[in-house]
Structure 1
Amino acid sequence: MHHRFLLFLFVFTIFTIFQTSTAISIITPNQNITDGQTILSDDEFFKMGFFTPSSSSTNRYFGIWYNKISVTTIVWVANRQTPLNNTSGVLTLNDQGELMIINDRTNTVIWSTNSSQNANNPVAQLLDTGNLIIRNRNDNDTRDYLWQSFDYPGDTFLPGMKYGIDFVKGLDRYLTSWKSVDDPSIGEYMNRVDPNGYPQILMRKGSVVEFNSGSWNGLRFSGMPNLKPNGIYTFEFVFNEKEIYYKYELVSNSVVTRMILSTEGMIQRFIWIERTSEWRLYVSGQLDNCDRYGLCGPFGICNINDSPACGCLSGFEPRFPEEWRRADWSNGCVRRAELSCGGGDGFVKRTGVKVPDTRRSWFNVSMNLEECEKVCLRNCNCTAYATLNIKSRSGCLIWFDDLVDIRSYAEEDGQEIFVRLAASELDRKGKTKRKVRVILIPTLVSVTVLLGICLLIYRKRKQKKNGITSIVIRENNVANEKKEDSELPLFDFNAIANATNNFSDEFKLGEGGFGPVYKGILEDGKEIAVKRHSRKSKQGLDEFQNEVKCIAKLQHRNLVKLLGCCIDEEERMLIYEYMPNKSLNSFIFDEGKRKSMEWSKRYTIIVGIARGLLYLHQDSRLRIIHRDLKASNILLDKDMNPRISDFGLARSLEGSDTKANTRRVMGTYGYMAPEYTIDGIYSTKSDVFSFGVLVLEIVSGKKNRGFRHANHDLNLLGHAWRLYKNGKQLELLDSTLKYTYMLSEVNRSIQVGLLCVQKYPEDRPDMTMVVLMLGSDIPLPEPKQPGFYTERRRPQEAGESSSSNPEWSSSNQLSVTYLQPR
């Protein structure tokens, strides 16, 4: 009897141990892990199972924690947002390779992995790294994992985890804080890689940026000087076309370290000290008050050793001195002397700094510092430049906007930046090497051509009584060395001056990159629109001749008609037919007017623009690439039919050519295709990208670059893509349309728009296919991720208030020129 009792006790003990902790790390299909059971990794360093965060909580979660550390430390939680309130939870793996947590009492799934890959005899395994993976049984290749918890981190960043974006798989790995120490649900703080401009890691509280790591400078993130080589862990930053990520690995497995995003919004690295059985803070991302994002405002700089900490960069002064004296630095600093592009601007070097927010920056990895300076100096929008990689002393990083979130460090911890100043400031400082650049805009050839045109005009004017004749503008075709003539009526300057009441403000319709546009009424009562070249404009003879050449012989109902031109001494004007409803942006981006634009009008406009582009790309005498297609360049006639206008930046392609390169990237930010903005490659597909942006703007009534959303920082393209992937694309539709739309047309427009803004030009349809897709019920392919997910900062950061604000690249939404050497 005694022996039987001992045998029973032994069996019961073994059964209890098995029930409490399964010694194997693998879960097979339809194997259940109930509340009370746990799974260990092979080295027994990590454990997973159901847990309660603290004694004050009754909720149950499934998670992973350290097994050999006496202080319970959770590193990952599955059902963060959907806790169980009892011990009825069951974890199971099905035959399709999905892990699920099921409430056994209600038989409902409260969490699952939702793996989209096909499984072949799947298993789930807790690895020695703390990574929970799903793989096919006989496939241990890390690239073939069906799913892994490292791709969906919570508040903890473990060794070996990639922290960032995988563009191929569509993954975005970032940290979110716990709501409290008792509640692992998503809290207020998020720390995430931002891919805009040159990548950096931004900490946000809700939608407001609280801390910026700074961009990677080859050694470390520029805003984290304490991130240095050490004997505990190695680290690396990878940035290529497929992925952006930061990663660290342990030098020795004898050290236990983790990085967390605390409930208070602090990035902290802890080391486990076995002797004292405690997690000891090793380093913190935020050092002091100067790490508060944008504390000193635009063109301000923070130095924690100064009192007060905020000051202005050299050549700048407080925007509002009285506020500054009250320690309110949020409005920052302004220039003492305005820049004069081409008039002697230069640079002052500032050393030992954290470089500004790089979301509005441009970079080139192969340039040297001298080439970087030249590019910055040639571009009137450039405000500063720096070396991209201070380790190799290579690469170019350029800013095109206000410089925000700069702070001062010790010389060895910071880097140098060159800030653009006016010549008078450089003279006053007497410290900087001033480099004056004299840029001759018109070449001698252009001057000769202009003089010849003026002489020809003068002679023909004498021969005509009505003051209207025709001019012949000869163009030199480099490709085939042939000359061809294009005839265009010439208007007398006095006639145009009289028609516009001597170019009075009351006749002014607006202003573009070429200059102001006026409404005019000729003596015969005909209404015209007059585009008058401004001496302040960056566009000149080239753009004037280009527009005449491109549009003079183009005839299509969806293109604006050029009636003639006027050249009188220094005056250059283009005369168009008058469009009484002005431009598309005056309707769709106006809170009042867009209510009058019902869906049928919008869809007609979308189709009309598509047909106009098709004519330019395929049916016109030359293959025309517009290069500046945007809402303000779509005019509306009296019947609200769209007319594509402004061909000043257009280019023509000969024969079967479909693309070309340029050294001068010209267009409007928010509409330019990635390959054009980055590499200067323009083609019919770059126009298709711009068209796709237009379609999504027309559907939503929102600007791509000015788009704001309370729940994320995506621009309009990214927002539309997210909604489409979640089957919620109708949420993109302008709320003013309510139920006055055709569902099939809206869905088709959104899908076509997303197809047109795909990242790679070869994935985008041509305009022939676009017109076909819009005008028929043919099945549409699934769009891929769009290019340029986000390209703007938040209102709190930019000083903007709504999506109707002007684009940052130009105060009046004009076209901009962006120079890129090749």
Structure 2
Amino acid sequence: MESCLPILLHSLCFVSLVLQISYASDSISAGQNITDGQTIVSAGGNFQLGFFSPGNSKNRYVGIWYKISAGTVVWIANQENPLNDSSGVLKLTPQGVLTLLNHTDGIVWFSNVSRSTQNPLAQLLDSVNFVVREANDNDLDDAIWQSFDHPCNSLLAGMKFGIDRAKGLDRYLTSWKSVDDPSPGDFTYKLDSSGYPQLILRNGSVVQFRSGPWNGLRFSGFPQLKPNPVYSFGFVFNQNEIYYYFNILNSSVRQMLVLNDNGISQRLTWVDRTHDWRLYASGPTDECDTYALCGGNGNCNMASSPKCVCLTGFVPKYPSDWESMDWLNGCVRRMELNCQGGDKFLKFTNVKLPDTRLSWFNKSMNLQECKQTCLRNCSCTAYSNLDISGRGSGCLLWFGELMDIRQFDENGQDIYVRMAASEVGKILAFSRQSHSEDLELPLFDIITIVNATNNFSDNNKLGEGGFGAVYKGVLENGQEIAVKRLSENSRQGPVEFKNEVVYIAKLQHRNLVKILGCCIEQDEKMLIYEFLPNRSLDCLIFNQEEGVSLDWPKRFTIINGVASGLLYLHRDSRLRIIHRDLKAENILLDMEMNAKISDFGLARSFGGNESEGSTKRVVGTFGYMSPEYAINGLYSVKSDVFSFGVLVLEIVSGKRNRGFTHPDNRLSLLGHAWTLSRDQKFMELVDPSIASTLNPLEVLRSIHVALLCVQNDPHDRPEMLSVVMMLNGESTLPHPKQPGFFSEDSVSEASSSSGGKHQKIRPTR
């Protein structure tokens, strides 16, 4: 919801004139005037009100602008009726009406007030609000008129963006026609209260963009809107008022939201050092923000090719249109609903909720009551929580087509879409913190997967291991998928299969692989993932020819991506996960070489104050296991930290830890790296193929952080939050102690003590 560029004035003469004859006061009383060339200034000196000409125009307007940036106009009185000379006069009448007169004393503009006052005062506040009030009454609720109730193209801190039913006000933004013409342009950004309220950007009467409904934390279409040190924000929805607002947390910060003449909104922050406005956020942000790009029941995903796919259970209404990338007519159900009973719901996660103009809501229902309410209405097609803060509350129902859905990497919302029973399977029950909930995932039928993979053709095979094989597939709607087909003798048994489905389905992060569904028919067990074209990390860093394609900037991005994903698993996800099998084979790479952590078959969740566990069945991959896990079966978040450290050293060196032995001293890769660092010979560890692309400071810091991660004692290892901060910080780092598995002999001893080599092999490529 971030809007447009400020309007910059170019008349230096005007600016100098303003400075010469500004009023000392911030207000005018009844009978006082402001003539062209005079201004009033708010008490704190932040804003001025007076006459100006925008851009190259010679027309004159009364407006308010930032004193630090005279060209940044935030409010205009006579937008639609400019003066054509400098004879204008702004007066305050004894009744409290602001009146703008031309050279013939004709009224050009006036403030429309519903009541008069005895002793009026018009005051420019330091909030930029221009108010008319009783001179001895400072309560703004008693003001007879205020500019905040009549915004133009700018929203500032403290303003209400929305509806006041009691006062009959509708506060919204309207773009200028151009930088030279501030009269109302083509675009409006307005709160729509038909159905559950949401913000809608229109070009004339055509919807261009939709914010999605407020979900207690943010508008569902703005995943980037989250708590920050610059400004707070919120949404008020009661019987009398519905509005969005924001407030600045630091009085020295100047920020505004502007809708420009191209229909783009921008949140701008003033930078004193450069004396200009800097873009903080903007929207619409990309093609998927275009309203209903994928039509009804379609889902837009910027990470997919093509961008539009039908929701699972739906197919293109006109397949030939979709083949030519014309998605406007959307998708229809593959199987009609049975209103007599038996319908189920399919859960879609991390999405922008559909258009709510044809919705129904209830603030007091819980999610189960919401589901039952939807089932009782044959026209109900989906439901969701109204408020996702806390444990979630409220009910939002949709009827008919689901319009304008898009997929996010994070901070999206869950929606439950109604399906015929054959379209969805209740796969697993997941128990957490003494309560159970049904996990509903897309259930693919075997015919769909057979067709997608050309009957599991060898030409479609991406890889094979102890679990079975992975195949590339293409669904009917054109979406590319990776199918992990478990063999009868798979090392990934029922427990691991359940783990992978449960955990990945409930985890949503840009650096985690995304599961699309599964297929369980007869003896077949298959997991369906997003397809990632650049395979797994081991295919590149351990291959001299292909390793060249991963220059240092890409490798450093991968290191940071894996760190970010692990931090999410350990601290920020709902479940809090220890992965237990982090390795190069389990890091997949997307089109832009972004890292995606995969394979959650061995993962374990922990809650409350738990942070570690133990097992008699040590499984994983030697070379990445921490000493305490490999030898004693003890695992914790610090086990993952150890694996991460190993992975970083492998990424830097291009060498596999397992099997590496230095010819001179039988040191493992970890021992070799630690010895080089102790002797200040860091750079000897680096893969020669990337020497020309190195950033020495980043390389040294990455090696240093990795060595802190692989220290023998888990208590000495940092947590992932510290790792993320250290990788990108400049603070002095502690000296790492000797790593675990210092020599190849210690690795072999650990392998023997844990009962052999149970080495899991990469599932998806």
TM-score range with shorter-chain normalisation?
A: 0.5 to 0.7
Q: 415, 418, 421: which is aligned to 1:417?
A: 415
Tell me the residue number matched to 1:294: 292
Counting only pairs closer than 5 Å after superposition, residues 85-96 of structure 1 correspond to structure 2 as 85-96=84-95
Conserved in 2, the CA contact under 8 Å of 1:224 and 1:285? Answer: no
CA deviation profile, 1:763-796 (whole Å, cap 9, x unmatched): xxxxxxxxxxxxxxxxxxxxxxxxxxxxxxxxxx
CA deviation profile, 1:211-241 (whole Å, cap 9, x unmatched): 0000001110000111110000111100011
Distance 1:307 1:89 in 2: 58
C-alpha displacement at 1:167, in angstroms? 0.4
Q: 206, 209, 220: which is aligned to 1:208?
A: 206
**2:81 is aligned with 1:79:** no
C-alpha displacement at 1:428, in angstroms? 11
Counting only pairs closer than 5 Å after superposition, residues 146-545 of structure 1 correspond to structure 2 as 146-392=144-390, 393-410=392-409, 412-426=410-424
Distance change in 2, residues 1:57/1:17 (3 Å):
closer
Tell me the residue number matched to 2:447: none
Tell me the amino acid that sits aligned with residue 114 of structure 1.
N
Distance 2:374 2:18 in 1: 69
Tell me the residue number matched to 1:34: 35
Distance 2:105 2:217 in 1: 52
SS at match of 1:264: coil
Tell me the residue number matched to 1:44: 45
Conserved in 2, the CA contact under 8 Å of 1:360 and 1:400? Answer: yes
C-alpha displacement at 1:433, in angstroms? 6.8
Q: 124, 127, 130: which is aligned to 1:129?
A: 127
Distance 1:94 1:343 in 2: 69
Distance 1:312 1:261 in 2: 32
CA deviation profile, 1:725-781 (whole Å, cap 9, x unmatched): xxxxxxxxxxxxxxxxxxxxxxxxxxxxxxxxxxxxxxxxxxxxxxxxxxxxxxxxx
Tell me the amino acid that sits aligned with residue 125 of structure 1.
Q
Tell me the amino acid that sits aligned with residue 65 of structure 2.
W
Counting only pairs closer than 5 Å after superposition, residues 715-734 of structure 1 correspond to structure 2 as none
Distance 2:251 2:320 in 1: 56
Distance 1:279 1:324 in 2: 42
Conserved in 1, the CA contact under 8 Å of 2:187 and 2:204? Answer: yes
Tell me the residue number matched to 1:116: 114
Distance 1:91 1:265 in 2: 31
CA deviation profile, 1:227-281 (whole Å, cap 9, x unmatched): 1100001111000111001111110111111100111111110011111111110
SS at match of 2:182: strand
C-alpha displacement at 1:429, in angstroms? 9.3
5+ residue gaps, structure 1, are 1-15, 436-822
**2:94 is aligned with 1:101:** no
C-alpha displacement at 1:145, in angstroms? 0.5
Tell me the residue number matched to 2:26: 25
SS at match of 1:348: strand
Conserved in 2, the CA contact under 8 Å of 1:97 and 1:134? Answer: yes
Conserved in 1, the CA contact under 8 Å of 2:427 and 2:440? Answer: no
Distance 2:327 2:136 in 1: 61
C-alpha displacement at 1:288, in angstroms? 0.8
Distance 1:205 1:64 in 2: 26
Distance change in 2, residues 1:429/1:296 (3 Å):
farther
Distance 1:367 1:222 in 2: 19
Distance 1:50 1:82 in 2: 13
Tell me the residue number matched to 2:60: 60
C-alpha displacement at 1:61, in angstroms? 0.3
SS at match of 1:322: helix
Tell me the amino acid that sits aligned with residue 64 of structure 1.
I
SS at match of 1:372: helix
Conserved in 2, the CA contact under 8 Å of 1:190 and 1:205? Answer: yes
Tell me the amino acid that sits aligned with residue 63 of structure 1.
G
Conserved in 2, the CA contact under 8 Å of 1:48 and 1:62? Answer: yes
TM-score (ref. length: structure 2): 0.53
Counting only pairs closer than 5 Å after superposition, residues 791-806 of structure 1 correspond to structure 2 as none
Conserved in 1, the CA contact under 8 Å of 2:163 and 2:243? Answer: yes
Conserved in 1, the CA contact under 8 Å of 2:428 and 2:440? Answer: no
Tell me the amino acid that sits aligned with residue 94 of structure 1.
T
Conserved in 1, the CA contact under 8 Å of 2:426 and 2:439? Answer: no
SS at match of 1:388: coil
C-alpha displacement at 1:26, in angstroms? 1.3
CA deviation profile, 1:166-188 (whole Å, cap 9, x unmatched): 00000000000010011111001
Distance 2:276 2:317 in 1: 49
SS at match of 1:186: strand
Distance 2:91 2:398 in 1: 52
SS at match of 1:73: strand
Identity of aligned residues (%): 55
**Could you say what the CA RMSD is over the residues aligned between the two structures, in angstroms?**
1.8
Tell me the residue number matched to 2:449: none
Tell me the amino acid that sits aligned with residue 354 of structure 1.
K
Distance 2:68 2:330 in 1: 51
SS at match of 1:33: strand
5+ residue gaps, structure 2, are 1-16, 430-437, 442-765
Distance 2:298 2:367 in 1: 24
Tell me the amino acid that sits aligned with residue 45 of structure 1.
N
SS at match of 2:389: coil
SS at match of 1:343: coil
Conserved in 1, the CA contact under 8 Å of 2:382 and 2:397? Answer: yes
C-alpha displacement at 1:196, in angstroms? 1.0
Conserved in 2, the CA contact under 8 Å of 1:102 and 1:110? Answer: yes
C-alpha displacement at 1:343, in angstroms? 2.8
SS at match of 1:417: strand
C-alpha displacement at 1:426, in angstroms? 2.5
SS at match of 1:373: helix
Distance 1:42 1:195 in 2: 37
Distance 1:264 1:206 in 2: 12
Distance 1:137 1:19 in 2: 28
Conserved in 2, the CA contact under 8 Å of 1:351 and 1:417? Answer: yes
SS at match of 1:83: coil
SS at match of 2:369: helix
Aligned length: 416
Tell me the amino acid that sits aligned with residue 44 of structure 1.
G
Conserved in 1, the CA contact under 8 Å of 2:133 and 2:143? Answer: yes
Tell me the residue number matched to 1:509: none
Distance change in 2, residues 1:102/1:209 (3 Å):
same
SS at match of 1:91: strand
Distance 1:41 1:333 in 2: 55
C-alpha displacement at 1:68, in angstroms? 2.4
C-alpha displacement at 1:401, in angstroms? 1.8
TM-score (ref. length: structure 1): 0.50
Distance 2:177 2:311 in 1: 39
Conserved in 1, the CA contact under 8 Å of 2:426 and 2:440? Answer: no
C-alpha displacement at 1:34, in angstroms? 0.6
Distance 1:52 1:184 in 2: 10
List, as ranges, runs of 4+ consecutive aligned residues in structure 1 with deviation greater than 2 Å.
16-19, 426-435
Distance 2:18 2:340 in 1: 80
Conserved in 2, the CA contact under 8 Å of 1:337 and 1:422? Answer: yes
Counting only pairs closer than 5 Å after superposition, residues 534-573 of structure 1 correspond to structure 2 as none
Conserved in 1, the CA contact under 8 Å of 2:18 and 2:38? Answer: no
